[in-house]
Amino acid sequence: MSERTIKSYTYCVLRFFEKSRCCKEKCPQKVKRQEIIDYLNSEFVDRKIAGNTINVNLNALKFFFEEVLRKNMRLYVKYSKKALKLPLVLTKEEVKSLINNIKNEKHRLMISLLYGSGMRLSEIINLKIKDLEIERGYGFVRQGKGRKDRIFVVPCSVIERLKKELNGKSIEEYVFSSNRGRKYSQATIQAILKSAAEDSGLWKLKRVHPHTLRHSFATHLIQNGASLNEVQAMLGHKSPETSMVYVHMASPSMINIKSPLDNL
């Protein structure tokens, strides 16, 4: 599992033994199925905590008891996920304005590639020179979300700037690194993006975050005529249902939908 999942599951299991009144002093092997369900209901369901949070805690406890301790718990309990919320998306003009308001060349290149490739923030931070096939216009995300490799497109408009940035570097180095040779932190890139959003006047209307660029990338692909399968492949989604939200975000005229009022 990913480091993020490990940390999340560990936190949820520790919290269970700290918060659960009946299980606090109990040997884990003696915990019963109903005690886990009671804990989830009292700590999350009754307090109207988001379904996604409940599911993470359930899956963590299910993994711990069934996979680690090998107990036959059969925790097949379903909690509803949080309601579908359409992601924040920038228009193409807003993306252009955002990028143009980044004065530092390296930072501008980094944000341009973040949007132009649809990569996640963690993926561009960990991108190494050896993962790029610049002349062929693509690169590889190694061990992305779900421990999966996938291909991504390198925009033609950044190829020459990328070559200049990578000149003299070893293939084992990160594509983007600080002046001290260290990879960028997520907080640094978030700060760069926020500053650009403020300078362009976007921050008053839209709270722009790195993942906003990924949402915008996918929506603009649909608007440009890309198929759902192509978007799914570019984003590295397991199923087309996950990518379907971007079809909803695309302009109706771009996906050939006409209002019935126009036919009256």
Residues designated catalytic: 120, 145, 211, 214, 237, 246
CA distance 207 to 179: 28
CA distance 3 to 135: 33
Q: Beta partners for 139?
A: 132, 152
Q: Which two tokens stand for residue 133?
A: 């096939």
User: Hey, CA dihedral for 64, 68, 73, 75, is it positive or negative?
Assistant: positive
Q: Which two tokens stand for residue 6?
A: 């490990």
Which residue has 């990913």 as its token pair? 2
Instruction: Answer yes or no: are the C-beta atoms of 173 and 128 closer than 8 Å.
Output: yes
Which residue has 């501008």 as its token pair? 108
Contacts with 148 (C-beta within 8 Å, 6 or more apart), sequence order: 236
Please compute, for residue 222, the number of CA atoms within 13 A of its CA located in the half-sphere on the CB side: 26
Amino acid identity for residue 255 in this structure: I
Q: Name the CA dihedral angle for 17, 22, 28, 31, rounded to a multiple of 10 degrees.
A: -130
